[in-house]
Every structure is written in structure tokens, then in C-alpha cells.
Amino acid sequence: MASVHKLYEFDYSSGTIKLKNRKCPRCGSVMAHHKQPEERYHCGKCGYTEFVRARRKGSRGKG
């Protein structure tokens, strides 16, 4: 009983299916997601790497 739907994630709350991993803008294959040491997506086919920009929220300014 092997599942072939591991690449996809079903959101029960919104009822939508989305792809877990990103697709490579270069060759279009599914990229691998790495969290260490830096969060990024990496394509094993062509070697394309895309870093995830950590978005700062709630920035506080002085005075």
C-alpha cells in the first residue's frame, strides 16, 4: 500500500491541494527543501538554489 501522494499536501481547512516543494524555475523539476544551516530550496537536477528570505515582523523603531 504505497502512497504516491507524498509530494502533495491536502489542506482540510480550506479544501485545497498544494505542492509541498517548490518547482525549479530553471528546469521545472521539484526542488528539495533544506532548513539547515540556511533555509533554502535546492534542485538536484541542475543545481539551482533559492534561499528563503526570513521576513521580519513587528519591527519596532526607536522614538
Residues forming the site for Zn ion (CB under 5 A): 24, 26-27, 43, 45-46, 48
In whole angstroms, what is the distance from residue 59 CA to residue 28 CA? 36
Q: How far is the CB of 51 from Zn ion (least distance, A)?
A: 15
Closer of 17 and 25 to Zn ion (Cβ):
25
Q: How far is the CB of 12 from Zn ion (least distance, A)?
A: 31
Closer of 20 and 26 to Zn ion (Cβ):
26
Q: What are the phi and psi torsion angles at 46 (to 5°)?
A: -110, -10
In whole angstroms, what is the distance from residue 25 CA to residue 13 CA? 29
* Amino acid code (one letter) for 34: H
